[in-house]
Chain A
């Protein structure tokens, strides 16, 4: 958490994370270039750069896209999610080198503007196999540019988490465009069952992980508790919630996390104000609900971040009857104090 905006709030984990990213990228490039020089010695530097950085970006995008669902399925992978934006920006830089070199190589020094040429030098928009695949790559690069350039808490706060999240969900559009760019471009000419195979396998892995994670979450959303005469919702037995942890329930249209700590129970809205992380998958640390994604904290009894921070989430009233927890489905104003119930 930070009060002011810095380029990067460095810490030990972020530094290690970035060193591993750099190591991976360098290893990839060195191996790709060595193999190209050994088995394709007549190639030219421009082609080698375009191919090395393009293929690196595609593989990095696959790695980025498995992190989200993997972390939802197993919280032990959350540290990988913690600094994912650095991985995203690094992937964008690889894609940018690919795109810029390709535009310079294929579209400059002609009689029209190179960007205009990307869209007009092949006009077979009606054909699948002859489709101008460069356009797809260009649009994907634009999306990645907007994502990379807003990958900072300054934009997250100023665009609002919802708009920011919406913008960053465009990564799936970029992924689709990139797959089409590769399959309608390079794979039309450089056809190998192995390179096609690795991208097909990547697509299967990414789709499966997302489907399994969505299935897991649908169980929470599918919760339909009984209501008592006062309209309160019966949620679960108090023993189902581990100490310092929470259980998440769907209450009306919202997800609510009920935390158990120090012999008390409190309920707050499940969505972190920072990036929409699932607070109910977090833990009580130093008396605060701590978001599993980036460690943002809230006091469980009032949903407020401890001073000097100012984030607030909605709170909910609870009741305990014979070890059964009931919740008032009508949420209170963000930051409203609610006396925890004893359990």
Chain B
């Protein structure tokens, strides 16, 4: 029997038997490709860490304000047990713009007791607070405390990745590496302190707030080094539960390797 010469026309309802079977075959293969793709792309993702950003739950915290050089609140958790909470602004901005109002009215607020309502960000023992309104900062009527000088830890050379702490400690997952690099660059140039995240072979991490050699904040100058495995050298000081590192930005060494914090 001669084979039927099938011809498909979109606006004609009838479709030949063999054409129908080819369409079915294509649709099944296409759907299978989609399902295999979903399995591969869904399953083979690096597991996100358990960092937290309480974006919908405001928290009020009180403590002693100080800048070293980045704004922090030293909170007394129990008698003589303190935690340094790093203060940040809304979006990709630092906290300074929100603190300006109270600084204008009160002068130097270093060592003064503040209560701030904001959104907590926390991971791996570190706590940060996002402030989204200068009205949510109030000065408590208490005496000014003497600022405790940081403890010097000597000069160190460490390998890690410069991250923006807001995203790294909870707002984004992942908040590091190449995918996140542009965001981190915007955050740090917007006033969020640069942090060097370092992990050793046992996955124990240390975090260094980076300053220039004089201990002043650095932002835009460090942008080319963000999100890359790098080697940094500098004088390390210890605050309550953060390290700071004074560095010469021009001496940061970019490393051609995979970041150890992945």
Contacts and interface: CB of A to CB of B under 8 A. Distances in A.
Interface of A: 1, 9, 11-14, 20, 23-25, 27-29, 31-36, 39-40, 42-44, 46-47, 51, 55-56, 59-60, 62-63, 70, 74-80, 82-83, 105-112, 117-118, 121-124, 130, 132-134, 185-186, 188-190, 192, 194-195, 198, 242, 244-245, 282-283, 285, 290, 292, 294-295
B10 A14 contact: yes
B228 A130 contact: yes
Given A32-B41, A40-B48, A118-B182, A110 B187 contact: yes
B170 to A, nearest CB: 9
Contact of A106 (B6, B22, B182): B182
A290 B5 CA distance: 14
Contacts of B50: 42
A20 B187 CA distance: 43
Contacts of B157: none
B83 to A, nearest CB: 23
Contact of B186 (A59, A107, A285): A107
A6 B93 CA distance: 49
A43 B41 CA distance: 14
B33 A63 contact: yes
Contacts of A198: 36-37, 40
Nearest to A114: B186
Contacts of B139: none
Interface string B36-49: 11111111111111
A186 to B, nearest CB: 6
Given A42-B48, A189-B174, A189-B179, A32 B90 contact: no
Nearest to A21: B30
A51 B11 CA distance: 37
11 contacts: A20-B27, A39-B47, A42-B51, A47-B173, A107-B182, A122-B185, A189-B174, A195-B44, A245-B5, A290-B7, A292-B7
B35 interface: yes
B10 A112 contact: no
A189 B31 contact: no
Contacts of A55: 37-38, 41
Contacts of B187: 110
Kindly state the interface size class of chain B when it binds its partner: 35 or more
Contacts of B19: 76, 78-79
Interface string B92-117: 11000000000000000000000000
Contact of B262 (A1, A35, A189): A189
Contacts of A76: 6, 8, 18-19, 22-23
Contact of A74 (B5, B22, B35): B22
Given A36-B42, A189-B177, 9 more contacts: A9-B11, A42-B50, A76-B18, A109-B92, A111-B189, A190-B45, A190-B179, A244-B5, A285-B7
Contacts of A108: 91
Which 3 pairs between the two chains have the least Cβ-Cβ distance? Answer: A109-B91, A35-B42, A121-B182
A253 B227 CA distance: 55
Given A27-B31, A189-B178, A244-B5, A51 B41 contact: yes
B56 interface: no
Contact of B38 (A32, A110, A124): A32
Nearest to A2: B11
Contact of A285 (B9, B44, B179): B9
B39 A110 contact: no
B91 A110 contact: yes
B180 interface: yes
Given A13-B10, A76-B19, A292-B7, A111 B93 contact: yes
B7 A283 contact: yes
Interface string B1-32: 00001111111110100110011001100110
B253 to A, nearest CB: 15
Contacts of B69: none
Nearest to A294: B10
A111 B34 contact: no
